Chain A
Amino acid sequence: MSCPVPRLPSIRTRPESADTRPVAVPGVLRVPPPVVPAGRDRRVARQRTAKLCAACILKHCSATLIVLAISAIESASGPGRSMKFKDYYKIMGLSRDASADEIKRAYRKLARKYHPDVSKEPQAEERFKELGEAYEVLRDTEKRAAYDHLGASWQPGQDFTPPPNWQGGGFEFHQGAADPAANHHFSDFFESLFGHAFHAGAGATGAGPRTRGQDQHSKITISLDDAYHGATRIIQLAVPEWDATGSRVMRNHALQVQIPHGVVQGQQIRLAGQGAAGAGGGPRGDLYLEVQLQPHPLFKSEGHDIYLNLPLTPWEAALGAQLTVPTLGGNVEVKIPAGSQSGQKLRLKGRGLGSKTRGDQYIVLQIVAPPAMTPAAREFYERMSRELPFNPRSHMGV
């Protein structure tokens, strides 16, 4: 079964360093720090955010707002720009005389290794995208012949310009409706070789009957605090549109996104009407962002539940205590029962993630003994050993 569901291209972001050049960070849409400080009351935060105009927010975030889709950058590259040669055979680990079966086998093997849904390899998204482009060319007899027509003397990464009067090496390319390439955004190199002829078929779609634009899928990384409280973010991305000639182009634009409170790891949020433009004046598709949560120094999330390791003194555990405990919603007072032990869990109901029904926060107790650093402390421990005979290993028979 063919699937026309597109993947949003990989995203380029700027790291939080002095270097302001875009850097490829595949697959994950990162967002700037919150416009509204985390931890504030949500209602106040929303009211304050709603009063900010886009220009002010953009100005406020200018130091860290750097989210650019690779395809946007690539589409900005005009014909006059330099580009690098791609060795599709090397990308797929094949010799130039590889058979169609070998190409298919190599693709399947590498696709399983680098597929973003499956792989934990570094740069998997980039590698998979590159692999898809190589396969798109080498599996197609006409494209492969045109590519081979360039000759074998090119080196990967070498500056490349198509030969004068290049028209696909004299070959014609046809794009079927079910062609998966219709949903991919390939490199400048690919576009320079096959773009014009390749998009001739797509252009008909752009100028054709009124159809809804495709939905786009990507990821967004946020902090656990933002997941709990909700937050306003500005993201900048590129979405495919049809130009006047019927070719697909990438349009860059900024979105102000209110991330609802309570989202959990892996959950999707939908931004209606922010996907690809429709053809023939049809409505835009939707944009789906899969939420990825950044690690938190204190809390860990598991679904809707939150876990916190809580250190206790031996006397707090033995005698019981009323302690202040951090939660994502702020500090709370918790009564520790007398006789508590390390590893025991206490549940704070409704202190986890979730929009309508919240999960729970679990406090895992961890007894920490103070070091016997002073003569007085040592004397105290010695007195305990005399007056509190206790063998925690008795169940081991030792």
Chain B
Amino acid sequence: MSGCHGNCRSIRAATWGFKVPDKTVTITATVLDEDVMLSVDQLCASLGLEPDDLIAYVQEGLVEPRGTGPQTWKFPGPALKRLHTALRLGRELEIDFAGTILAVDLLEEIERLRARVRALEQLLGETR
């Protein structure tokens, strides 16, 4: 293509992946939406979490897996963010297990309300 020096060996590796030359890397980006399913092992490896701790979070309702038991549990993508936030709050604010779960719920509710307020403010602002 014009403007390229021709050394490019770009290959689209996957739906969202690219391979580009030199020291850059091939990236496959995945949106962690409700359709992405994560296993207990994946979550534990990603978060440095013990399976027992994950089970405790499930029992408290922080995240809701699909499946009949820990061996078959699959968690929707957003569970990772909820768990990560809970773990971080627990560690960095030194709050207890139940407190982190409450905080995560409240933070998500605040974020939903903020988005609604932003949308309403725009609509009200334009009608004034």
Interface residues, chain A, with chain B CB atoms under 8 Å away: 1-5, 7, 46, 49-57, 107-108, 111-112, 115, 117-118, 128, 132, 180, 212, 214-215, 217, 232, 253-260, 262-263, 265-274, 285-286, 288, 290, 295, 300-303, 307, 309, 311, 342, 354-356, 364, 366
Contacts and interface: CB of A to CB of B under 8 A. Distances in A.
A364 B123 contact: yes
Contact of A5 (B18, B35, B48, B122): B48
A266 B111 contact: yes
B66 interface: no
Contacts of B11: 50
Nearest to A4: B48
Given A56-B8, A258-B16, A300 B122 contact: yes
Interface in B80-109: 80-81, 84-85, 87-94, 97, 103, 107
5 contacts: A51-B4, A53-B5, A253-B24, A260-B31, A303-B115
B20 to A, nearest CB: 4
Nearest to B36: A270
Nearest to A254: B24
Range of interface residues on B (Cβ < 8 Å): 35 or more
Contacts of B115: 265, 301-303
A290 B81 contact: yes
B18 to A, nearest CB: 6
B10 interface: yes
B27 A267 contact: no
Interface string B1-35: 10111011011100111101111110111111101
A232 B12 CA distance: 13
B80 A255 contact: no
A192 B79 CA distance: 39
A55 B22 contact: yes
Contacts of B28: 271-272
B93 A111 contact: yes
B123 A309 contact: yes
B4 A268 contact: no
A217 B84 contact: yes
A3 B48 contact: yes
B1 to A, nearest CB: 5
B10 A50 contact: yes
A364 B119 CA distance: 11
A41 B104 CA distance: 38
> Closest 4 A-B residue pairs measured CB to CB?
A53-B8, A4-B48, A3-B87, A54-B20
A232 B87 CA distance: 31
Contacts of B10: 50-53
Contacts of A272: 27-28, 30
A302 B119 contact: yes
B16 A260 contact: yes
Among A51, A53, A128, A355, the one with the most B-chain Cβ atoms within 10 Å of its Cβ is: A53
